[in-house]
Amino acid sequence: MTATTHDDHHDHGPAKGIMRWITTTNHKDIGTLYMITALIMFFVGGAMALVIRAELFEPGMQYVDPLFFNQMTTLHALVMVFGAVMPAFAGLANWMIPMMIGAPDMALPRMNNWSFWILPFAVCLLASTLFMEGGAPSAGWTLYPPLVLQGGNNLPFAVFSVHLLGISSIMAAINIIVTVFNMRAPGMTWMKLPMFVWTWVITAFLLIAIMPVFAGAVTMLLTDKFFGTSFFNAAGGGDPVLYQHLFWFFGHPEVYVLILPSFGVVSQIIPTFARKPLFGYSSMVYATASIGLLSFIVWAHHQYTVGMPIQGELYFTYATMLIAVPTGVKVFNWLATMWKGAMTFETPMLFAIAFVVLFTMGGFTGLMMSISPADLQYHDTYFIVAHFHYTLVTGAVFAILAAVYYWLPKWTGYMYDERLGKLHFWLTTISVNVCFFPQHFSGLAGMPRRIPDYAVQFAEFNAMSSVGAFVFGFAQLILAYVVIQSIRGGDKATDEVWEGAKEHGLEWQLPSPPPYHTWTTAPDIK
């Protein structure tokens, strides 16, 4: 089967204007649509976060009522995960994977179009719950019963939205798997695939395995509320902890869905700016695969406080600690790639290095939380909030920012403004630490998460957090400006994109496999 492009409407010529974007089956167009949607949702989710931080700037109730505050915590998380980070990585996958493996397009171009267009409608459906009687769900992004069942009639809309988002993700994942398995150029063997392609293939398998579990769990919530079942209702013989197991069996691999493509991006960028091939390519591939497998057997470390048997706690402690090993291999390989490299520090490299440092810090706090007796102290405090924002903001979001700066000249044909890029980097990196680092201390001192008011002893740390959050949020306007400026034109991007590249022979990317993997049978692939 041949891949089609948006020019396949050969009867009437290619579609023009808005119809080109609605009907396109071209992987680059769809990648662009995903990235634009992700950017818009990044600002929407960010605005919700700023509502939260404005309320927490000082003790007492200032701006919003507690119910709306909880709706913001719920929607902020769902919009950021399903509306911003996952679509951004889907956009990167659509743009880059066919080019990286020498394919003319994605394998299933019409399904590709469909998987994108479900997304904006699903997110709008979720946001529409804000305007319903009783407002949006206010039980956290985990949608735990019995709390989530207390709300108004927003639940069916939220559940339907989750189903649509899941369908969109599964279709994108199937497309990536079929493309990489069937459309690699001659000579492009598995152990020659760029790391970004590898991480996405493993991520795609995770998505196909976990999304139906989440869909099943939220459907059971729906039948509990409207059809008289008692899956999670203790009065009818059910158990709310069953929902937690189902949710986290989805939720834990989900965080690796958000972070594995980040590993792929960083594994492309660091070799480029260190002017060295990636150190330990095959160990990176195996580490990625083992992280994917291990992510399925550690879910209950989110549930140490539910009263599970001591053997269960012991098992989940050991299994969770085990994930630190392949992750450590990756960090070691990135450091070894940089070691004695001819490094330069353009914006993509700055974000990649910040990713390595700050994501590792998030990993260390994760290791702390894997220890079940200690986690009884951390659980549901701001320490948890600090931990997962270090993995998802300085992890996933930083990797996306690095990727945007890295590939933007390739996408637009024009160079971005390096000075603005560096300004964006420093403002972002400093403010994100001012925002989330103090939360470790608040959490260790016992400040609970998801509360609109708090004891006066936490005032200073919360004020710092809120200032950091606002600076971080507004710094992202620089990103939007840089992207728009690059799309509109400027200095032409050449083969040697970054300054000083000529003497080092720096092109778009070094292939992530070592240089002895030559492109003998497919010389025209870059």
Active site residues: 76, 105, 141, 168-169, 252, 254, 256, 267, 301-302, 327, 330, 449
**What whole-number distance in Å separates Cα of residue 20 and Cα of residue 26?**
10
- 476 closest CA partner among 526, 410, 525, 404: 404
Tokens 């809309």, residue? Answer: 157
Residues 6+ positions from 172 with CB-CB distance below 8 Å: 90, 93, 112, 115, 204, 207
Residues 6+ positions from 324 with CB-CB distance below 8 Å: 363, 366, 367, 370
What phi-psi label fits residue 371: left (phi over 0), alpha (psi between -120 and 50 degrees) or beta?
beta
**Is it true that the peptide bond before 146 is cis, omega within 30 degrees of 0?**
yes
Residues 6+ positions from 235 with CB-CB distance below 8 Å: none
Largest CA distance in the chain: 73
Tokens 């991007």, residue? Answer: 493
CA neighbours closer than 13 Å in the CB half-sphere of residue 313: 15
**What whole-number distance in Å separates Cα of residue 190 and Cα of residue 196?**
13
**What whole-number distance in Å separates Cα of residue 351 and Cα of residue 421?**
10
Strand partners, 414: 492
Element (H, E) at 366: helix 347-370
Three-class DSSP category at 272: helix
CA 276 to chain centre: 27
CA 229 to chain centre: 34
Report the first-to-last Cα separation within the chain, whole angstroms.
24
Give the total residue count for the chain. 526
**What whole-number distance in Å separates Cα of residue 58 and Cα of residue 452?**
10
Residue 103, amino acid: A
**What whole-number distance in Å separates Cα of residue 373 and Cα of residue 80?**
31
287 in Cβ contact with 520 (< 8 Å): no
**What whole-number distance in Å separates Cα of residue 395 and Cα of residue 259?**
7
**What whole-number distance in Å separates Cα of residue 200 and Cα of residue 211?**
16
The CB density around residue 167, as the number of other CB atoms within 10 Å, is 17
Quote the Cα angle for 124-130-133, to 5°.
130
Q: Tell me the two tokens of residue 223.
A: 């039948």
Q: Tell me the two tokens of residue 398.
A: 């930083």
